[in-house]
Chain A
Amino acid sequence: MQALPSVNLENPHARRARAGAWLLIAPLVIWLGLFVVAPLGILVAYSLASTGELGQVEFALNFDNYVRVFDPIYLKIFGRSIAYAALTTVLCLVIGYPVAWYIARQRPVVRNRLLLLVMIPFWTSFLIRTYAWIAILRSEGLLNATLSASGAIPAIFPEPLALLYTPTAVVIGLVYAYLPFMILPIYGSAEKLDHALVEAAHDLGAGPLRVFREVIIPLTRPGIAAGMLLVFVPAIGMFAITDLMGGARVSMIGNVIHNQFTKALNYPFGAALGVVFTLLFVLSYALLQWRGRRRDRG
């Protein structure tokens, strides 16, 4: 299973790279080294440094920043971020899977049209899409206006719903922003799935639930894994949506890191948080890969 995009580098006509070819690819390699590898290395170095009295960074090997990451305050924020991201991922999966499956089962013409309808929100700025919900969820917003016009307020709800700047709003914002990122990779797997296998399972007497569990889910697992990774990882660190939908009330790991670099100006501690976050990401990616490989084998 491959959650990352895979590129086939096999080209039978490729020639062995000589000095000239290396010279040509040098800019790319240097760019990657300078702006991808070196910054990550420096981030690790910063995380092991400390802040002096004037706020300057002093490079002396110490693990104080990492000890501080495990302070209950930050552990709680890490836990909350992971919980919100996990809830968002599950909701996106539950909401998005049937959609991806349905689109994949259509005639090519219909399929392409529906796919375009997913692509448009996918490419629309998440900032604008999050902003759109402010107008709906505000206490004087569209949702409450509709509810009171239809008589649901006060019939069902005694007073207007205060949804904006609550955890519910944060989750709505996250699900709304990341749903297309779940639908597209699952669609990719579902579209490749050989429907004859599903029909064969039916003909052999498997009920819909069993077909779904034992045929459809395993065959679309690469898409599910890619979708989960594409939603879960960015959702943990996304501080813009939590800021807009949660006000300053719901603080996530992204908000804390952001603060360390813009307000508290404690780069080393911010760097340590960033490194822990990266490790979390690498771990969840490795877990998905490992599970996938074990499944493929077993």
Chain B
Amino acid sequence: MPAANPTTHRRPSGLKLLQWGLGAWTAAVFVFLYLPILVLVAYSFNTSRLNVVWEGFTFRWYGELFGHGPLIKTLKNSLIIATLSTVFAVIIGTAGAWLLHRYRYRFARAIQTLIFIPMVMPEIVMGISLLVFFTTVQLDLGFVTAVIAHTTFCFPFVMLAVQARLQGLDPAMEEAALDLGASPWQAFWLVIVPCLRPAIISGALMAFTLSMDELIISIFTTDPASRTLPMQVFGMAKVGLNPMLNALSALFVLITIASVLFSEHLRRLASR
């Protein structure tokens, strides 16, 4: 670092000390961020139920995890809700981003501001407002209401990802397609969508992750039959430690790392 910076030698050595201090601080913060997760992963292989002393290595908790009825049932529910919400979020988000980019709407600013509301609104407020809405229109809570709620907080993230990509898109692309005789629909489907693919995929990944992790909004928009995995985990964690939860957490951490690395890979592809 200092070699790349020609002015370093003129600075007082106190600044160098500061750099060291900042580095040490950053390292300490990363330990703080990762130690609890690593401890959890390690304990998921511990034969001891109580998690304090290391007694031996086992896969037992992973086995029990897959035999645990409520966890598997709620995992299925979460996968159904997250998949459907992601599909809807991608359709609404991509189409919305493209239309707001392609056409000048009279209330474009207002629409754009409305889209940010579900992103910044406290989850609990969104949860209770949807609950009173569903009560008013007499729509019984279940998968339908859960998917509506999840789609609503997910699609702005897809839209934002796509809008960021659209800004770097050469407008000549669509014009060329139109000049060559494509209909606007064909131009969108055959030219624009392939260009937007990395943004759509990373937006979808974001939507899916957000939906799988969502707890607060789900509490207000599901019924017992459509309970989600985070709700089940929350209920179990309230009681205390549970080696099956350690195993489940370890699996989730692994999946998260994989998807973060994958979206980083996509980002690099997109920026090339």
Task: Tell me the smallest distance from the CB of B54 to a CB of chain A, in Å.
Answer: 11
Q: Which residues of A contact B60 (CB under 8 A)?
A: none
Task: Tell me the smallest distance from the CB of A260 to a CB of chain B, in Å.
Answer: 9
**Residues 44-72 of B contacting A (Cβ, < 8 Å):** 50-53
**A228 CA to B40 CA in the complex, in Å?**
29
**A36 CA to B96 CA in the complex, in Å?**
16
Report if A14 contacts B (CB, 8 A): yes
Q: A39-B130, A135-B40, A261-B220 are in contact. Are A127 and B122 (CB under 8 A)?
A: no
In the complex formed, the residue of A with least CB distance to B109 is A9
B256–A240 contact, CB under 8 A?
Answer: no
A278–B122 contact, CB under 8 A?
Answer: yes
Contact size range, B: 35 or more
**A9 CA to B98 CA in the complex, in Å?**
11
Task: Tell me the smallest distance from the CB of B188 to a CB of chain A, in Å.
Answer: 10
In the complex formed, the residue of A with least CB distance to B174 is A13
A277–B125 contact, CB under 8 A?
Answer: yes
Task: Tell me the smallest distance from the CB of B55 to a CB of chain A, in Å.
Answer: 13
Q: A36-B118, A102-B23 are in contact. Are A244 and B213 (CB under 8 A)?
A: no
Question: Which one of A67-75, A111-119, A217-225 is at the interface?
Answer: A111-119
**A136 CA to B51 CA in the complex, in Å?**
9
In the complex formed, the residue of B with least CB distance to A141 is B52
A135–B43 contact, CB under 8 A?
Answer: yes
Q: Which residues of B contact A271 (CB under 8 A)?
A: 128, 132
B116–A4 contact, CB under 8 A?
Answer: yes
A121–B37 contact, CB under 8 A?
Answer: yes
Q: Which residues of B contact A43 (CB under 8 A)?
A: 125, 128-129, 132
Q: Which residues of B contact A86 (CB under 8 A)?
A: none
Q: Scan A239-265; emit 1 where CB is below 8 A from any B CB, else 0.
A: 110011000000000100110011000
- Name which of A31, A106, A120, A127 has the most chain B CB atoms within 10 A of its CB: A127
Q: Which residues of B contact A79 (CB under 8 A)?
A: none
Question: Which one of A151-159, A229-237, A289-297 is at the interface?
Answer: A229-237
Report if A145 contacts B (CB, 8 A): yes
- Name which of B25, B111, B124, B148 has the most chain A CB atoms within 10 A of its CB: B124
Interface of A is mostly: helix
Q: A14-B103, A199-B7 are in contact. Are A116 and B264 (CB under 8 A)?
A: yes
A132–B132 contact, CB under 8 A?
Answer: no
The contact of B105 among A25, A37, A117, by CB within 8 Å, is A25
B245–A131 contact, CB under 8 A?
Answer: yes
A267–B123 contact, CB under 8 A?
Answer: no
A240–B215 contact, CB under 8 A?
Answer: yes
The contact of A132 among B11, B36, B167, by CB within 8 Å, is B36
Q: A7-B160, A28-B111, A36-B117 are in contact. Are A142 and B52 (CB under 8 A)?
A: yes
- Report A's interface with B, CB cutoff 8 A: 4-5, 7-9, 11-17, 21-22, 24-25, 27-29, 31-32, 35-40, 42-43, 46, 95-96, 98-99, 101-103, 106-107, 112, 114, 116-121, 123-136, 138, 140-142, 145, 176, 179-180, 199, 202, 208, 229, 233-234, 236-240, 243-244, 254, 257-258, 261-262, 267, 270-271, 274, 277-278, 281, 285
Instruction: Supply 15 further A-B pairs (C-beta < 8 A) apart from A35-B149, A179-B33, A244-B234.
Output: A25-B99, A28-B92, A31-B152, A32-B115, A46-B132, A117-B33, A118-B33, A120-B257, A121-B34, A128-B233, A130-B237, A141-B51, A237-B123, A254-B124, A267-B135
- Report B's interface with A, CB cutoff 8 A: 1, 4, 7, 11, 14-15, 18, 22-23, 25-26, 29-30, 32-34, 36-37, 39-40, 43, 50-53, 92, 95-96, 99-106, 108-109, 111-112, 114-126, 128-133, 135-136, 148-149, 151-152, 155, 160, 163-164, 167, 171, 175, 209, 212-213, 215-216, 219-220, 230, 233-234, 237-238, 240-241, 245-246, 248-249, 252-253, 256-257, 259-261, 264
Ordered nearest first, which 3 A-B pairs have the shortest CB separation? A39-B129, A132-B36, A39-B133
